[in-house]
Structure 1
Amino acid sequence: MQIVSLAEQPQHLAKLAYWHHSEWSYLYPDISLRDRAESMADYFTAESVPKMFIAIDGDELLGSTAIDKNDMDTLPHLTPWISDVYVNPAYRGHGIGTALVRHAMEYARKNGVQTLYLYTPGQESFYTRLGWKSLTKDVYHNHPVSVMHVQLAPAAVAISS
C-alpha cells in the first residue's frame, strides 16, 4: 500500500467523489455528486492546504483523507481540519484508515501545524486511539457530531553551525 496525493493520481477523483457523496450526503443534502466532484478540484493546488491523500495498492483505490482549511462552517475560527477519512468497505479493518490519518497528521506537522481538528458523527473511539481528544459535542446539519482535536509535536528544526 502507498499513500500519495490525489494530485499525483487524478484518475481516482470520480470514484472518490462517488464514495464521499454516498457516505456523507446526509450531512450535505444540498450538494450534488457533480458539485462534490467539482469542489474536489481544490485539492489539485500546489499549496500545502487543502490537500487530499489516497491509499492505493497498485491501481486499486483503498481510501482517502484530506486536510482542509475549514470543515465546519459553524466553527470558522478552528483551522485546519482533517476530513474525508474513508476506506473502501472491502478493505476496512486492515489499518488503512489509521495509516491515512497518521500520514495526514505527519504532513500537517511537517508543514508547521500545531493543532488539527475534525468532526465525526460516530467514530470517536477510532480517533481517540490515535491521540485525538474531544473538544465539544455539536449538532451539524441537524446531526449530532463530536468535534475533536490533536496537538502535534513541532517538526525538528535543523541547526546549522
Structure 2
Amino acid sequence: MKIQPLYDAPHHADQVTDWLWQAFGDPLPREFFASVIDHSQTPDALPLTFIATQGDTLLGTVGLWRCDLISRQDLWPWMAALYVSETARGAGLAGKLQRHVIDYAREQGYTQLYLYSACRDFYERFGWHYIGDGLDYPATAVHLYRYDLSLSAGASTE
C-alpha cells in the first residue's frame, strides 16, 4: 500500500471527487468537490489531497486544507475529507491516512491540526482531543478536534 499526493496520480481525481461528493456532499454539488480536488493539484500548497493505493486500486483519501469549517476560520490547517472505500475498511487505513497527514503537517512546521466531525469517539482513538462544538453551514452542530503537532506533545517531563 502506498500513500501519495493526488497530484502524483491525477488519474484518480474523478474517483476521489465522486467519493467526497457521495460521502460529504449533501447539499453541496459535485462541482464543489471537483473544484477542491482540482485546486489540490499544486505541489506543496493547500489544499492538498493524499490518496492510498494498492497497485492502481484506489483505497482511500484524506485532505490537508486551509479551511474546512467556515464558521471557524480562526483555526487552521484542517485534516479534512477522510474517506476509505468500503472494500478497504476495517484494515486500519483510516489511521494510516491520518498519520500521514499528521506527519506531513508537522514536517511543514504546523504546530496543530484541526478537524470536525458529526460523530464522537472515533478520532479520540487516534490522539485527537475534543475541544468543543462548532456550527457547520447552515445550522448543523459538529464536534471540533485538535491534534497537537509539537514534538513534545504527550511526552513525559521530569
Q: TM-score, normalised by structure 2?
A: 0.90
Percent identity (aligned): 30
Q: Which residue of 2 aligns with 1:35?
A: 32
Any gaps of 5 or more consecutive residues in structure 1?
A: 156-161
Where 1:78 maps in the other structure, the secondary structure is coil
Q: Which residue of 2 aligns with 1:105?
A: 102
Note if contact 2:59-2:88 (Cα within 8 Å) is conserved in structure 1. yes
1:19-59 deviation line (CA, Å, top 9, x unaligned): 11111112xx1x31133213311111123432111000001
Q: Which residue of 2 aligns with 1:81?
A: 78
Give the deviation of 1:83 after TM superposition: 0.1
Any gaps of 5 or more consecutive residues in structure 2?
A: 153-158
Give me the CA root mean square deviation.
Answer: 1.4
Where 1:44 maps in the other structure, the secondary structure is coil
Is residue 128 of structure 1 aligned with residue 105 of structure 2? no
Is residue 68 of structure 1 aligned with residue 65 of structure 2? yes
Give the deviation of 1:145 after TM superposition: 1.1
> Are the structure 2 counterparts of residues 49 and 34 from structure 1 closer, same or farther at C-alpha, using a change threshold of 3 Å?
closer
Where 2:132 maps in the other structure, the secondary structure is strand
Give the deviation of 1:18 after TM superposition: 0.7
Note if contact 1:134-1:149 (Cα within 8 Å) is conserved in structure 2. yes
Structure 2 residue identity aligned to 1:114: T
Where 1:99 maps in the other structure, the secondary structure is helix
Note if contact 2:7-2:43 (Cα within 8 Å) is conserved in structure 1. no
Name the CA distance, whole Å, in 2 between partners of 1:46 and 1:91.
Answer: 27
Name the CA distance, whole Å, in 2 between partners of 1:86 and 1:11.
Answer: 18
Note if contact 1:4-1:54 (Cα within 8 Å) is conserved in structure 2. yes
Note if contact 1:2-1:56 (Cα within 8 Å) is conserved in structure 2. yes
Name the CA distance, whole Å, in 2 between partners of 1:20 and 1:70.
Answer: 16
Name the CA distance, whole Å, in 2 between partners of 1:125 and 1:52.
Answer: 25
Give the deviation of 1:138 after TM superposition: 2.4
Give the deviation of 1:154 after TM superposition: 4.1
Name the CA distance, whole Å, in 1 between partners of 2:59 and 2:108.
Answer: 25
Q: Which residue of 2 aligns with 1:25?
A: 25
Corresponding pairs, count: 151
Q: TM-score, normalised by structure 1?
A: 0.88
Structure 2 residue identity aligned to 1:149: R
Name the CA distance, whole Å, in 1 between partners of 2:113 and 2:123.
Answer: 12
4+ residue runs over 3 A deviation: none
> Are the structure 2 counterparts of residues 48 and 39 from structure 1 closer, same or farther at C-alpha, using a change threshold of 3 Å?
closer
Give the deviation of 1:9 after TM superposition: 0.6
Q: Which residue of 2 aligns with 1:11?
A: 11
Q: Which residue of 2 aligns with 1:159?
A: none
Name the CA distance, whole Å, in 1 between partners of 2:126 and 2:102.
Answer: 10
